[in-house]
Amino acid sequence: MREIVLDTETTGFDPEQGDRIVEIGAVELWNHLPTGQTWHQYVNPQRAMPQEAFEVHGLGDDFLRDKPVFSAVGQAFLDFIGDAKLVIHNAGFDMKFLNFELKRMGLPGLPWDRAIDTLAIARQKFPGSPASLDALCRRFGVDNSKREKHGALLDSEILAEVYLELVGGRQPDLVLAPGGAARTGTASEQVWRPRPRPIPLPSRLTADEEAAHAAFVAKLGDAAIWSRRR
């Protein structure tokens, strides 16, 4: 199962009022395991950066001026996410901006049911408790010390750890998806199977116990399962 954890930074709160995306970060998970594959892009919003937004993410006009516009990178973003589920904190916000930009490109929007909203999961799991990304980091002991300002890729990486905790602990499918088989094998190869020990454990039976067992089996006749040869 492929999932993409993603985050965006913007110039404000409402694309219908002229706000635009300025950064996208995305992290790939496969069967709840990070693969190391990421996608990151700064975007020229083609408008001035409000001071309130600059104070959140630190991305100013001078820095963004030579970055590509969304229409130049939108298809690359779609190619990266493919048809994977999208894990987003406060998904309504990011999906609104992404679909606005895709619509401007003349492309179909992302279906809302593709989004897994970690904010909604946290509020359902811990009703009445703070559910911000920083609050969840404190709850789960996820290191967010590098998060001095919001950054799309860093926040995606942190959210990936928080998401794995929300769904049952970090790397919950580790036993069921060993090595690279979960990523590249067929469906039948992805099913976990116990393997025999390279060196069998020594028997704990004493000689007297083995003799007593043999005598008991002898009384059962040739139909006893212990009498059948493998």
Write out the DSSP string of 102-121: HHHTT-PPPPGGGEEEHHHH
Strands (E), the chain: 2-10, 21-30, 33-42, 85-88, 115-117
Interatomic CA distance for residues 67 and 22, integer angstroms: 9
Interatomic CA distance for residues 24 and 6, integer angstroms: 7
Q: Residues 151, 23: contact at Cβ < 8 Å?
A: yes
Residue in 93, 94, 89 with CA at minimum distance from that of residue 147: 89
- What CA–CA distances, in Å, run from 75 to 69, 145, 153, 155? 12, 33, 18, 22
Residue in 124, 128, 107, 108 with CA at minimum distance from that of residue 116: 124
Q: What is the pLDDT of residue 68?
A: 98
Q: Copy the structure tokens of residue 157.
A: 């990486």
Strand partners of residue 88: 117
Interatomic CA distance for residues 89 and 158, integer angstroms: 11
Interatomic CA distance for residues 13 and 27, integer angstroms: 23
Residue in 158, 159, 153, 157 with CA at minimum distance from that of residue 59: 153
Strand partners of residue 25: 7, 40
3-class secondary-structure state, position 137: helix
Residues forming the active site: 150
Strand partners of residue 117: 88
All domains of the chain in start order, with CATH: 2-184 (3.30.420.10)
SS3 percent helix, strand, coil of the chain, rounded to 5, is 40, 15, 45
- Say what the pTM is: 0.73
Interatomic CA distance for residues 45 and 61, integer angstroms: 9
Q: What is the pLDDT of residue 138?
A: 93
Q: Copy the structure tokens of residue 194.
A: 């116990």
- Sign of the Cα pseudo-torsion (156, 158, 164, 166, in order): negative
Q: What is the pLDDT of residue 213?
A: 82
Tens place of pLDDT per residue across the chain (230 aa)? 999 999 999 999 999 999 999 999 999 999 999 999 999 999 999 999 999 999 999 999 999 999 999 999 999 999 999 999 999 999 999 999 999 999 999 999 999 999 999 999 999 999 999 999 999 999 999 988 877 667 899 999 999 999 999 998 655 444 333 344 444 444 434 444 555 656 666 777 788 888 888 888 788 777 766 666 54
